[in-house]
């Protein structure tokens, strides 16, 4: 049986591996999440209901408990399969990237434990922030850093250490928090991360970075069953669940890991559709919507003289709800907007100055938010 895989053409074999990763993690998460739901309802481990929350039913927030075990289980099973087929390419890549992959796993374990503690008993934001800083330092030690912006913001040369060290730590903390804070309505965080993971999986597969494609597809398969329970599960039937901080921190860290890796990959000229794409847009475009939203909300809270770290209802999904959209329609609208930003950025980054393109995207996003804000205020006046 294994001889069949040995003689299989490379393209077909790697598509089989990635499809297997997707299916295995879907099945594993699909089995594990109902068990988490059962335990959560028996032990009455629910998300607290307050005036800021959109939901008004008892819903567990422990969905993220399934993420890390399923992802690691899927990856290591397929690494073993790669060895037994005699291909050994995944193992060779693992050997080449053992330091960065080990750092990723260590960071995942750290945030996973912090997330569990927060979902069960609550953890101060300062403690989570320290853990995220620790992940940033681990990234630096593991050789995962952003040292070249490739002309973005007119920085064409490799950054000196005193610049790219704090930049790397800042980006790690920023991306993790962006995914954590965008988790405000059903399916939004998992939907946005699903779009990003699918993107990273296909791009890494296209350029021959199979280990990282495997990480992306294994994570995507874990997110899909959660998305189903989160969006379509009924709270009254005890089938609905939230990912909690365990899930959002885990997903944020993996997206950060994949984006950093892609930012440091050299695309061969043979990959005609990707070779001319600006490296920073190739790596970080899938994360632009949650990242821009966090920056806008932070500035808005400072403008209103509010604590920028205290939650409120100023995120983009809250605005869409105030415009009369349902949670599902708001979520789908943001997912399509993210896909649109990805497509436009990849195309235009081939021909436009990266700094100008970045400013145009930010301006476009700002104009949309200004329009939504004026529309909401107008609706309030009409109601009076």
pLDDT of 52 > 60? The answer is: no
pLDDT at position 10? 75
Q: Calculate the CA 251 to chain-centre distance.
A: 5
Taking the C-alpha atoms of residue 177 and residue 294, their distance in angstroms, rounded to an integer, is 8
- Residue with tokens 């500035």, as numbered in its chain: 299
Over the chain, what is the mean pLDDT? 88
- Mean local confidence (pLDDT), 37-53: 73
User: Among 57-71, 296-310, 323-337, where is mean pLDDT lowest?
Assistant: 296-310
Q: What is the 3-state secondary structure (H, E, C) of the chain?
A: CHHHHHCCCHHHHHHHHHHHHHHHHHHHHHHHHHHHHHHHHHHCCCCCCCCCCCCCCCCCCCHHHHHHHHHHHHHHHHHHHHHHCCCCHHHHHHHHCHHHHHHHHHHHHHHHHHHHHHHHCCCCHHHHHHHHHHHHHHHHHCCCCCCCCCCHHHCCCCCCHHHHHHHHHHHHHHHHHHHHHCCCCCCHHHHHHHHHHHHHHHHHHHCCCHHHHHHHHHHHHHHHHHHHHHHHCCHHHCCCCCCHHHHHHHHHHHHHHHHHHHHCCCCCCCCCCCCCCCHHHHHHHHHHHHHHHHHHHHHHHHHCCCCCCCCCCCCHHHHHHHCCCCHHHHHHHHHHHHHHHHHHHHHHCCCCCHHHHHHHHHHHHHHHHHHHHHHHHHHHHHHC
Helix axis angle for 354-383 and 288-303, nearest 10°, is 60
pLDDT of 24 > 60? The answer is: yes
Q: Please choose, from the candidates 224, 228, 229, the residue with its C-alpha nearest in 3D space to the C-alpha of residue 241.
A: 229
pLDDT at position 166? 93
Q: Using 50, 70 and 90 to split pLDDT, how confident is the model at 174? A: very high
Q: Using 50, 70 and 90 to split pLDDT, how confident is the model at 43? A: confident
pLDDT of 54 > 70? The answer is: no
pLDDT tens, 187-212? Answer: 999 999 999 999 999 999 999 899 99
pLDDT tens, 98-145? Answer: 888 889 999 999 999 999 999 888 888 889 999 999 999 999 988 889
pLDDT of 367 > 60? The answer is: yes
Q: Calculate the CA 22 to chain-centre distance.
A: 16
Taking the C-alpha atoms of residue 242 and residue 230, their distance in angstroms, rounded to an integer, is 6
pLDDT at position 300? 82
Higher-confidence residue of 86 and 286: namely 286
Q: What is the pTM of this model?
A: 0.93
Higher-confidence residue of 154 and 312: namely 154
- Mean local confidence (pLDDT), 276-285: 92
Q: Please choose, from the candidates 300, 223, 219, the residue with its C-alpha nearest in 3D space to the C-alpha of residue 257.
A: 219
């Amino acid at each position: 049986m294994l001889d069949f895989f040995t003689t299989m053409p490379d393209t077909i074999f790697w598509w089989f591996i990635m499809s297997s990763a997707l299916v295995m993690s879907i099945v594993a998460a699909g089995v594990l999440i109902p068990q988490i739901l059962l335990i959560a309802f028996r032990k009455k481990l629910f998300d607290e209901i307050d005036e800021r929350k959109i939901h008004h039913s008892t819903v567990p927030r422990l969905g993220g408990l399934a993420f890390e075990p399923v992802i690691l289980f899927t990856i290591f099973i397929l690494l073993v399969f790669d060895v037994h087929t005699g291909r050994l390419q995944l193992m060779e890549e693992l050997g080449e990237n053992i330091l960065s992959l080990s750092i990723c796993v260590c960071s995942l374990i750290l945030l996973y434990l912090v997330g569990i503690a927060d979902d069960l008993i609550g953890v101060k934001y300062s403690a989570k922030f320290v853990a995220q800083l620790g992940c940033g330092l681990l990234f630096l030690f593991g050789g995962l850093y952003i040292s070249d912006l490739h002309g973005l913001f007119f920085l064409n040369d490799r950054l000196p250490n005193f610049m790219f060290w704090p930049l790397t730590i800042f980006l790690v903390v920023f991306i993790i928090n962006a995914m954590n804070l965008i988790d405000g309505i059903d399916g939004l965080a998992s939907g946005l991360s699903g779009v990003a993971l699918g993107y990273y999986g296909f791009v890494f597969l296209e350029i021959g970075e199979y280990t990282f494609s495997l990480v992306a597809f294994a994570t995507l398969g874990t997110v899909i069953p959660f998305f189903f329970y989160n969006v379509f599960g009924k709270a009254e039937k005890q089938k609905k669940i939230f990912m909690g901080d365990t899930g959002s921190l885990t997903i944020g860290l993996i997206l950060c890991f994949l984006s950093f890796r892609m930012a440091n990959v050299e695309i061969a000229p043979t990959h005609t559709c990707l070779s001319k794409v600006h490296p920073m847009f190739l790596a970080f475009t899938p994360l632009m919507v949650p990242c821009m939203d966090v920056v806008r909300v932070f500035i808005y809270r400072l403008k209103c003289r509010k604590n920028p770290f205290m939650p409120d209802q100023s995120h983009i999904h809250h605005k869409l709800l105030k415009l009369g959209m349902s949670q599902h329609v708001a979520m789908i609208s943001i997912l399509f907007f993210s896909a649109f930003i990805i497509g436009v950025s990849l195309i235009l980054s081939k021909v436009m100055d990266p700094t100008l393109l970045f400013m145009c995207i930010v301006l476009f996003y700002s104009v949309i938010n200004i329009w939504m804000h004026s529309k909401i205020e107008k609706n309030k006046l009409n109601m009076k």
